[in-house]
Structure 1
């Protein structure tokens, strides 16, 4: 290899002392071992991935990705390294044979003496290093390349360049990468050649004349010409990026970009071409004057045309009349944004004028229409599920449970679901050895379900203190207390073992040597036994670990020698890994973004995890771009630490794929949900056969009944619609009707999470995902928005928006309160405040999700209140104690929702707070009744108006109770907790006596308020999940 360069004709100085043969051998051996270790680790990971993909039925995905990455690495790495090496070789090959003696050249002699003996190895090292960096960069562009090769048309042209949206999404990113690659090659080659020319005398900076040798000038001129020519292409491509630029108002082309930046890009591209021609001409002219002038002109033009001119246009033409100048561009941004986020055709908006009183709303009708409002908060009851249905310490539930709907006796019922998953941290320390963790405790078992509205299978409130000791706070399990039958009878038996779940361990080894061998995997106990039974996995699994080579590969992958040493690993063993359902979907479809909330469903006798997958882009012309993090982070994710979507910015999103993952076999199936999505069509060309058509999903018995509208997509659309419900450009600019997602009342500076309701008011209510808006910068309610979430409905994905007509009213008493304002009303209600204050003495009080729903031409707010022992014990869990409601302008509470509603009605009437029997007066907050109805337990409540029908003794009892509460407050302030509790108990007893007396004297009071209910929509709520 030493003959690669010509030898220097001048005498070569003595070489430096060489290393000894032993030291060189040790060094070479160490490098080889290091390379072998890294290579073996990488190969083991690649080999086991291949086994996984093949077992999952997605071998083509693995091979396509592998060979694409290898090809890109080799092409871009070899090209980059070869071009740089060729330029270094040319610079050395044409170095001056004779150098004039000067101080500069003398100082460079020692560097030449050091480089010359190793020049060949140095050249190879430079080529390899830059090639590795370039190859890695090229390999990372596999998505860009595959989308360019297989791109589809959107069928929509942008309004400025009349190019299909597919050009911006699929083609433009690849052309940008190639242009950047050429410029990078030119720059690195230019630097490398310049260094060699300078080192060997081709460039003499201190010389008065002939600073560049002829070969140096030719080579550098060509490289500079190539760079500037590539820059001209870059300017040309930058023109198209203007439709995706972020400006101060919106994303997309604006007045300044259209009238200043776009012409400047055209001019700069022409100037760059002229400058490149001057550099190429310099190969023959051998003078730097013209190229230098051309380069200076390019730099000056870039400053004047690319920076100063647009700033002048923005300052002196746009700002004085920005609304008029930007109106047409805002209109295009609105249209593109609504199209990109699918907010155009399937949005139905109507005006809504909520009333504030209870006139015309029958109590019985309200009790019926709100019977399904969720009181079981999935965010809070996980510990209750674990304590009451965990079975063993090595099982656990997810921190936030899921919500789905099931048919019970011909009626859709929402259920809060928890998968009983394996949690090996619950094992005793002495049981946490490798054999137990990876071969014995391998799976979870079953789904635990409770009715979201805390009513039984007959949809009635029952009295049962088995679980919690509190009739109002008990959970209504979907079926009995059996361990193998936790869901409804209608579902029948199902495969309950869960080998793939959100909390499954990294890997488990399953299988036994023969059918006669003993089962060792721990399972739930058989009926009549308290001890766990044993089982053996019988599914297809992920990969066989049989054979010494496979065992070696897995041992290297996990750094675990027991794969080779343990007798539990045999020829029939399988390794289950990549067990999180979301991770499995992302692995077989790396082009998808997976929803943060996957959920289980029992379908056709199996537990399936349903995973929503999104296709996204940040290149949709003129559509508003925002980050996932900003649009999707809410109180649920902040408080629980749930994973969110990536922080990448997007301006296009579709729920293109719905996937299922079998909890027992791990089988992943991808279904094309939005088959007309061009991005999905592109990836289906890349990986043919990997995505099933939508019709295949509809053919799976029972699957469509469990399809829901995905939460992360709804959050993104909710965020964008807050501003883009305004279709008039002038109103959009002035923010006249801009909305905002309200902040969660119980959290700080995070959005309120969406929730699911049955909306419609008919016999077949629509299962919907819902949220509310407040006016931007204000706290009152502006709108209620819902999207049909029933996969079997032809209206699936249709948005319904109720725009409150009083949202912009200047009079506060004419507005409808928003969630934050209602939370403040609850906190300042005397009855609620005193009751919860007493509860906080012995328990921790937690507020559940505040629900907002339109009922009978009014807005209702419902918020469950949970209490939990102040003990830090693992056996402590939250129990529902009270339900707070606001309906119209009335506030009440009770031990359950019917109790709160009856309390609401017990305070209505013509009286406004004067002594009983009078007809007028000033309103005072009074306590409500206790009663039994609707199969409910006794309840207490608080109305926002006085009791109108009681005798003087009722008012006297109420006054005594108020006095007792005041005295209790004084005792609490003095620190006498014992006396405080006694006084609160006394006050509560007085309230009970007052309620009983009122019922005795007014047996028909509640019935007298009943009237025909309004024929408006009467949604009934189900839990968020």
Structure 2
């Protein structure tokens, strides 16, 4: 036992020391200490509280086990005693309940503790009741091996009730400690919540009560109910089995003092049950049994009074139980009769059975359904309003968009910036081409490509915005041959990726291959404008999306920098990141923490050796701020952030020569916003409150508040004032690259499919539900996701970077609306919803796809390519608003079946009833708007002309 305690102590101390040094290296030691203090306080309080309460009660039970009343019972009690036939099942039932309780809470402790680092919204554990009991039974049936530990615990507490219960108490206290300490991100904000300045219409509580404090109350209820239930069962089992009663085959009854002890424990358990029913009233705000999300007519008129009544009845039982403890049982039998307790229990069971099952069913079918809209209307209005507010849909500005179909060459020329930035390269074919053309070596990999915009400065001083695809050339150690995967190579030699590629989205090189602004290891710019505008600086990527292993730098082993013409080029890390391993105790500490004992025995370390770990940027930011939800698509930015932030010495983004940064969007979420429909998400409130910047070379992490109006981030900002900086302190060179997140837009637009309907009657009838249209991509149907464009919005004077998503009616394929989310300057975060006239046909993506595939010449050309050892793949179909018209553009890629090197073979453009397919976007546009000058290889289909003929 001492050895186990010593091992655990060393392991815990190692963890704290190693993590503390890491947090200090990223300048967030205060965040670590506050989190650690909170966890220690929660864990210690819960452990000691559970251990003292249960331990003292077990000690008292051992004292009263051999009460005179039990040893020499009266004749009356002898007659009331129970024999072995009832004693054994009763004891087994109590032992089983105690074992299940211990197993349930132990599993909760293990799963919750291991998932804490990656869980921004830790779920609240359910207390042990009938529902969780049924789940446990299902789990045991699915995993029968768990019956073994269950039977061992059960037999242990039956054979040795005193010792078994004491061991179980220790384990249960530890389980409670681990569960509650893992919920620190629920507890901390509840200590100083920020008001939402909005109340729910049912209980008139500020929203902050449900977001911050209700989860903590439910967490306390879970702990106390589990503790009281366990203690009551353990004490009853000790009384039942004391004095070898199983072998004697008879239990003669509880003594008066034992009964008083059981009454106080029963009263405490009933008190938590009363609290549970009272808190269940608030859970009605998240009900799903009505026509919409949240408390409905039946919830308010039936379930709410039922939960209130059950809470009051249970509280009455608590009063009786406490009074019997305080005033005794036998002496006041005449005043506190047993039937009063039994009657209340019968009343409770009746109300629970009828009020939670039969009454809601009858009211729903006899009262609500015959007049459903009239009954549910106020609750529908609440759900619409609160869902729109929780998903930040209330500020969407709605405009009408009536296509005039009057697009001309002159208007295209007036929108030349939009036309020059129409995307004909999708990320998937570009990545495949990059892997063939730009990966250079086996160990490099292009994991992702991201859309962004850069401003190119021309020789005459004028500027032009260009939409590009940028992709980082990262090092993936797993792609090395097995013989090369040694400890030295993994941790000392192959330490970083090198550079990136940047491609304009609208052009292709000769042969249909990607046209690069920047390419190759040497980062050769394509022209002087690119060289003048895109800073290369420090191209080494030590922190990225594929950097999943830790490395040591500054060793005697040179780091592979990049492959040269004749030989490899080597380097030594000169960044500011990392933890020193110069001292022996630091090597010992991290060899234990990382379970890598070769760190102790290698001769390659020097006094300058540093450890870089948690280099994966997602893992890095989640460890620092686990209370945030992070976007799944970090994007690389090339910028000279130092030029504009050099005077700001407090800003962590100031290492000289660093030009590659990762920007990650982060969200505050909650699953406790009243009446807000989650729509299939694990949360029902979300804000894009944070922009995170990670230096790809130095590993520094900066958090900037992008939405200061969010009460949740306001609360965290008060807890971590040094961590969360205002967006104004972000270097302007990086501000120019923040964009409206795709994940956020996807969540919002999915909610908008239903919750654009604000009229309760239309919402109830589902008269105007939308859906995201489908498109054909690589010969398979997929949902159209949001896409970025540089375009001029209607009524706006200049082009801007927007995220666009079209919508169609749920049962039809024509366009009904499109949503634009803005990214530039002061317009960032604003959304505009453009609605098309319902009485006119506006082609949707599926209708355009059908017309393309039904065109005989286009279909014949695609079929011909597909039978010549190649495969023609249709790319993303983009709907592009230009002034008062819509243009449809779809690239067509060609790749060989044996060697997957996609090329841009054709660009298809559709406008009104004309479809053109040509080698370039310019040629297709010319065929549509100036057919007399179209080339010989261009295919043009004009349905209007065919109809006239």
State yes or no: 1:83 paired with 2:83.
no
Q: Which position in structure 2 is the counterpart of 1:296?
A: 346
User: Please, which runs of 5 or more residues in structure 2 have no aligned partner?
Assistant: 96-153, 331-336, 458-462, 641-657
Shift of 1:443: 0.6
**SS of the counterpart of 1:708?**
coil
Match of 2:905? 881
Query: Any idea what the Cα deviations from partners look like across 1:803-851, whole Å, max 9, x if unmatched?
Result: 1113xx5xxxx53232223222222211111111111122122222111
Aligned 8 A contact 1:408 1:488 in 2: no
Aligned to 1:994: none
8 Å CA contact retained: 2:689, 2:707: yes
Q: Which residue does 1:427 correspond to in 2?
A: 480
Corresponding residue for 1:153?
195
1:41-100 per-position Cα deviation (integer Å, ceiling 9, x unaligned): 554444322221110001111111122112211111221222222222222211234166
Q: Say whether the 8 Å CA contact 1:356–1:889 is kept in structure 2.
A: no
Q: Say how many residue pairs are matched.
A: 838
- 3-state SS of the aligned residue for 1:769? strand
State the secondary structure of the residue aligned to 2:538.
Answer: coil
- 1:661 pairs with 2:661: no
| CA gap 1:92/1:421 in 2 versus in 1, 3 angstroms | same
Select the residue among 425, 440, 444 that pairs with 2:493: 440
Match of 2:873 in 1: 846
Q: 1:245-276 deviations in whole A, cap 9, x for unaligned?
A: 23343222221122222222222222111122
2:919 to 879, 895, 907: 895
Instruction: Establish whether residue 682 from structure 1 lines up as the match of residue 715 from structure 2.
Output: yes
| 103 and 678 in structure 1: CA distance in 2 versus 1, 3 angstrom threshold | closer
Q: Within 2, Cα distance between the matches of 1:851 and 1:779?
A: 15
1:567 corresponds to which residue? 603
**Structure 1 SS opposite 2:943:** coil
1:774 counterpart SS class = strand
In the alignment, which residue of structure 2 is the partner of 1:168? 210
Match of 2:329 among 268, 285, 290: 285
Specify the alignment match of 2:301 in structure 1. Answer: 259
Q: Return the offset for 1:607.
A: 0.6
For residues 76 and 727 of structure 1, the distance between their equivalents in structure 2, rounded to whole angstroms, comes to 47
SS at match of 2:284: helix
Residue aligning to 1:785: 819
Matched ranges for 1:782-931 at <5 A: 782-790=816-824, 792=825, 794-806=826-838, 815-840=841-866, 841-871=868-898, 873=899, 876-905=900-929, 930-931=934-935
Of 539, 553, 558, which residue of structure 2 is paired with 1:510?
553
Match of 1:343 among 369, 379, 393: 393
Corresponding residue number in structure 2 for 1:406: 454
C-alpha distance in 2 between matches for 1:205 and 1:253: 55
Residue 451, structure 1, aligned to residue 504, structure 2? yes
Q: Distance in 2 between matches of 1:687 and 1:948?
A: 68
1:475 equivalent in alignment to 2:494 = no
Match of 1:734 among 729, 747, 765: 765
Give the match for residue 418 of structure 1: 471
Partner SS state of residue 725, structure 2: coil
Of 561-570 and 548-557, deviating more is 548-557
2: CA distance, partners of 1:768 / 1:155: 31
- TM-score, structure 2 length as denominator? 0.83
**Which has the larger helix fraction?**
2
2:561 is paired with a residue whose SS is strand
Determine the structure 2 residue equivalent to 1:177.
Answer: 219
1:393, CA displacement in angstroms?
2.5
In 2, the alpha carbon distance for the partners of 1:377 and 1:114 equals 64
- Report the alpha carbon displacement of residue 744 of structure 1 after superposing the two structures with TM: 4.4
Give the alignment partner of residue 180 of structure 2, picking from 138, 141, 146.
Answer: 138
Cα deviation code 1:436-467 (max 9, x no counterpart): 22111111111210111116xxxxxxxx53xx
Partner of 1:395: 444
Cα distance in 2, alignment partners of residues 767 and 359 from structure 1: 23
Q: What's the offset of the Cα at 1:750?
A: 5.5
Q: What residue number does 2:678 align with?
A: 625
Partner of 1:958: none
Matches within 5 A, 1:314-713: 314-345=364-395, 347-355=396-404, 369-398=418-447, 400-409=448-457, 410-454=463-507, 465=510, 470=511, 473-479=512-518, 483-486=522-525, 488-512=531-555, 520-524=558-562, 529-604=565-640, 606-628=659-681, 649-697=682-730, 700-713=731-744
Which residue of 2 is the match for residue 631 of structure 1? Answer: none
Deviates more, 1:140-149 or 1:381-390: 381-390
- Partners of 1:948 and 1:297 in 2: how far apart? 81
Query: Given the superposition, is the C-alpha separation of residues 767 and 249 from structure 1 closer, same or farther in structure 2, using an over 3 Å criterion?
Result: same
Contact 2:695 2:701 in 1 (8 A): yes
Matches within 5 A, 1:1-16: none
Deviations 1:975-997 (A, max 9, x none): xxxxxxxxxxxxxxxxxxxxxxx
1 CA distance for matches of 2:225 and 2:36?
27
Q: Is 1:157–1:163's contact at 8 Å kept on the other side of the alignment?
A: yes
Q: What is the TM-score when the length of structure 1 is the normalising length?
A: 0.77
Pair 1:206–1:713, CA change in 2 (3 A)? farther
Of 240-249 and 731-740, deviating more is 240-249
Question: Deviation per CA, 1:463-518, whole angstroms, max 9, x where unpaired?
Answer: x53xxxx1xx13221147671345642134421111001011411110147xxxxx
1:55 counterpart = 2:98: no
Assess, with a 3 A threshold, how the Cα gap between structure 1 residues 256 and 203 changes in structure 2: closer, same or farther. Answer: farther
Equivalent residue number for residue 756 of structure 2: 725
Give the match for residue 939 of structure 2.
Answer: 941
Matched ranges for 1:106-121 at <5 A: 121=163
Q: Per-residue deviation at 1:765?
A: 0.4
Cα offset for 1:788?
0.5
Which of the residues 789, 793, 798 maps onto 1:764? 798
SS at match of 2:428: coil
Distance 1:650 1:330 in 2: 20
How far, CA to CA, are the matches of 1:724 and 1:320 in structure 2? 25
Distance in 2 separating the partners of 1:559 and 1:755:
44
Q: Deviations over 1:658-681 (max 9, x none)?
A: 110000000001111112211111
CA 1:316–1:213: 2 relative to 1, 3 Å:
same
Separation of aligned partners in 1, 2:941 and 2:311: 74
For residue 852 of structure 1, report the CA deviation from its aligned partner. Answer: 1.2
* Residues 412 and 227 of structure 1, relative CA distance in 2, 3 Å threshold: same
Secondary structure in 2 aligned to 1:370?
Answer: helix
The reply on whether 1:66 has 2:108 as its aligned counterpart is no
Q: 1-side partners of 2:480 and 2:901: how far apart?
A: 21
Q: CA offsets, 1:148-194, max 9 Å, x none?
A: 11211111122222211111111111112212322222211111011
Which structure has the larger Rg?
A: 1
Matched residue, 1:1010: none
SS at match of 2:422: coil
- Cα separation, partners in 2 of 1:229 and 1:821, compared to 1, 3 Å: same
Q: Does 1:200 align with 2:242?
A: yes
Structure 1 regions of 5+ residues with no counterpart? Answer: 1-30, 456-463, 514-518, 629-648, 908-927, 932-937, 950-954, 956-1025
For the residues of structure 1 that align with 2:674 and 2:27, how far apart are their CA atoms?
37
Contact 2:158 2:241 (8 Å CA) reproduced: no
